[in-house]
Amino acid sequence: MINKDIYFIEENAGFEELTSESLKFASYLKKCGKKEIKIFLSSTFDFCVALFGAMIANTKAHVVSDERLCDIGDLNFAKCKGDKEGEFFLNTNYKFYLYTSGSSGFSKIIEKSIKDMFEEANFLRNFIKMDGKKVYTSVTHQHMFGLTFKVFLPLVAGMKVLSSRLDYPELIFAYDFTDSIFISSPVVLSAVSKYDNVCLNTASLIVSAGSKLSDDIRDKFTSKIMEIYGSTETGVVASNFGSGFVVFDAVNADIKDDRLFINSKWCDNFLSSDMAEIHGKDLKLLGRSDRIIKLNETRFSLDEAESFLKDHTFIKDAKCALLKNDKRVKALLVLSDDGKNEFRNNGKLGIVDTIKKYLYPKFKTNIRSFKIISEIPKNSYGKFSISEFQKCYDEKKIPSFSLLQSDEKIAKFSCFMSEDCFFFEGHFREFPLTPGFIQLGFVFECLDIYGIKIDGGYVVENLKFMAFLRPFDRCIIEICITDKNINFKIFANETQCSLGRIKVV
């Protein structure tokens, strides 16, 4: 079942090395009497060795995505070898365990078999018909999408695999993607699309999964893009080449209780949490059933609310959640350029008043609380968990200064005043500005960065404010130190907005 043309580029290893190292790892497991292991290995080759070694030794393997939870990891794997014993064989009945992303609030353990993975991989091999291609990825093999496309598809199609993850534009631009497949996610493709996409546009195929791929991002690439719909539980279900999802021929999809019911050679009768409509083989996703909540005796779709919010000219991105013990929905808002102009002119109050009026006809007052942030910190698959939502909502963000230049007497520091600074939500909700005592705090923060700590007493002298420091300004702080005096100037872009002197006593 494993194609003998499989090749791991960085490790300079092929089929012989894979089978030999797997037998050595199996020997180690048997000798140590290990019945269960947790694997976290960055190298795709090492991961394959560990998984197939566990299979041969009949050791239960858990594939974890957090290095802190593993007992077979990058630091100790090289030492986990025994003598090469026996012959390599595939036990297709062998089962191992994956973990879901936990975006709904908790992670679930999912059982998979070697047979399931090879059935899925063989189908995909025949579907895309790209045997022998190079495979580059921005995703990890610790999750189902990467495991399918970075491990098992190359194993059956004899592909050439790069173990390293190319998850930043700078890494991606260093490679030639001619005659290759790039396995990625909307988050990474979005980042790459902001630059010159020439290198990726030479790829034979780009495969994306993890979250919805917007048409705006797709349109920025000339390479063929296959978006995958599926899950850890179901494996691949449908593909979208730009005109909507189509269920794979090897998959039977039906609707039960408004939810998608999946059956295939690699998935037995699974009732998904996703709501959908099916017309022939065409699949339209309607959102997750667990994203539809009961609020004031009515059904409320968090997905619908997010989509509606993003349609407003002030909003670039939005996330909604009903947090524990809350009776109303909270929303995280990322502002568009129009929204940023409104925020600078009329503050958070101007944004919230406008959005509440916009929402009321459709959602009444069910979305009550709003937090403006600069971006929603999704993971590399585009997922955003409820715990991350809570963290973002509770965070009191402060500016982070960096040293621009310095000598023995003068130092200059810089920071961008983003819209999510906590003090813009305080007393200046209609006209956001940075309070004077906060500006003074900036000076002490910069002194700390510069390595100067005032341990004794001090007096702030000659403090003067001339202009406002506001959202989206570039704050520049100049500090001049003489004997026991610290003189400072604060600028909003090129306009001086305050000055003062701190006398150490």
- pLDDT in the model for residue 103: 57
Percent of the chain topping pLDDT 70 = 98
Q: What is the mean pLDDT of the chain?
A: 93
Percent of the chain topping pLDDT 90 = 83
- On whether both 175 and 313 belong to a single domain, the answer is no
> Could you report the per-residue pLDDT of 33-67, keeping only the tens digit for each?
999 999 999 999 999 999 999 999 999 999 998 89
Residue 132 half-sphere exposure toward CB, CA atoms < 13 A: 1
Specify if 242 maps to a domain: no
- On whether both 321 and 419 belong to a single domain, the answer is no
Backbone dihedral region for residue 263 (phi beyond 0: left; psi -120 to 50: alpha; all else: beta):
beta
- On whether both 364 and 415 belong to a single domain, the answer is no
- pLDDT in the model for residue 447: 93
- pLDDT in the model for residue 298: 81
User: Is 385:211 a contact under the CB 8 Å cutoff?
Assistant: no
- Calpha distance 159→151 (Å, rounded): 10
- On whether both 381 and 407 belong to a single domain, the answer is no
Q: In the numeric block, which tokens belong to residue 134? A: 């190079």
For 82, residues 6+ apart whose C-beta sits below 8 A from its C-beta are 24, 25, 26, 27, 28, 30, 31
E strand spans, 282-390? 282-288, 292-295, 298-301, 315-321, 329-335, 367-373
Q: How, if at all, do strands 495-504 and 458-465 pair?
A: antiparallel
- pLDDT in the model for residue 197: 66
Specify if 406 maps to a domain: yes
Exposure string of 195-224, with b = 16+ CB inside 10 Å and e = fewer, is: eebebbeebbbbbbbbbebeeebbebbeee
- On whether both 379 and 440 belong to a single domain, the answer is no
Count of positions (residues) in the chain:
505
Give start and end residues of each alpha helix (H) in 364-479. Answer: 386-394, 436-449
- On whether both 370 and 430 belong to a single domain, the answer is no
- Can you tell me the mean pLDDT for 376-394? 87
Q: How, if at all, do strands 60-63 and 36-40 pair?
A: parallel
- On whether both 56 and 199 belong to a single domain, the answer is yes
> Could you report the per-residue pLDDT of 343-361, keeping only the tens digit for each?
999 999 999 999 999 999 9
- Calpha distance 435→429 (Å, rounded): 12
Predicted confidence band at 238 (pLDDT cuts at 50, 70, 90)? very high
- Residue 305 above 90 pLDDT? yes
- pLDDT in the model for residue 471: 97
Which residue among 377, 394, 411 closes a domain? 394
- On whether both 409 and 386 belong to a single domain, the answer is no
- pLDDT in the model for residue 287: 84
Instruction: For residue 64, give the CATH number of its domain.
Output: 3.40.50.12780
Q: Which of 228-232, 292-296, 349-353 has the lowest mean pLDDT?
A: 292-296
Specify if 76 maps to a domain: yes
> Could you report the per-residue pLDDT of 92-129, keeping only the tens digit for each?
999 999 998 765 556 789 999 999 999 999 999 999 99
- Can you tell me the mean pLDDT for 272-294? 90
Q: What is the pTM of this model?
A: 0.78
Cα dihedral 398, 375, 274, 329, rounded to 10, equals: 50
- pLDDT in the model for residue 98: 96
- On whether both 29 and 133 belong to a single domain, the answer is yes
- pLDDT in the model for residue 211: 87
- Calpha distance 52→95 (Å, rounded): 11
- pLDDT in the model for residue 360: 96
CB atoms within 10 A of CB 287: 17
Is the pLDDT higher at 291 or at 244?
Answer: 244
Specify if 307 maps to a domain: yes
- On whether both 408 and 479 belong to a single domain, the answer is yes
- Can you tell me the mean pLDDT for 399-413? 92
- pLDDT in the model for residue 89: 95
Specify if 259 maps to a domain: no
Specify if 290 maps to a domain: no
- pLDDT in the model for residue 453: 81
- pLDDT in the model for residue 425: 86
- Can you tell me the mean pLDDT for 389-401? 95
Which residue among 326, 359, 394 closes a domain? 394
Which residue among 394, 420, 436 closes a domain? 394
- Calpha distance 73→71 (Å, rounded): 6
Domain range spanning residue 427? 402-504
- pLDDT in the model for residue 483: 79
The DSSP annotation for 116-149 comes to HHHHHHHHHHHHH--TT-EEEESS-TTSHHHIII
Specify if 252 maps to a domain: no
Exposure string of 75-102, with b = 16+ CB inside 10 Å and e = fewer, is: eebeebebeeeeebeeeeebebebbbbe
- Calpha distance 66→89 (Å, rounded): 29
Q: In the numeric block, which tokens belong to residue 348? A: 């958070």
Total domain count for the chain?
3
- Can you tell me the mean pLDDT for 445-454? 89
How far is C-alpha 178 from the chain's CA centre?
A: 27
Instruction: For residue 480, give the CATH number of its domain.
Output: 3.10.129.10
- pLDDT in the model for residue 384: 84
- Calpha distance 63→54 (Å, rounded): 11
E strand spans, 178-314? 180-184, 205-208, 225-231, 235-240, 245-247, 251-256, 259-264, 267-279, 282-288, 292-295, 298-301
Specify if 271 maps to a domain: no
- On whether both 73 and 212 belong to a single domain, the answer is yes
Per the DSSP assignment, residues forming a β-bridge with 387 are none
- Calpha distance 29→225 (Å, rounded): 41
Instruction: For residue 360, give the CATH number of its domain.
Output: 3.30.300.30
- Can you tell me the mean pLDDT for 201-228? 94
- On whether both 427 and 458 belong to a single domain, the answer is yes
User: Is 263:116 a contact under the CB 8 Å cutoff?
Assistant: no
- pLDDT in the model for residue 233: 95
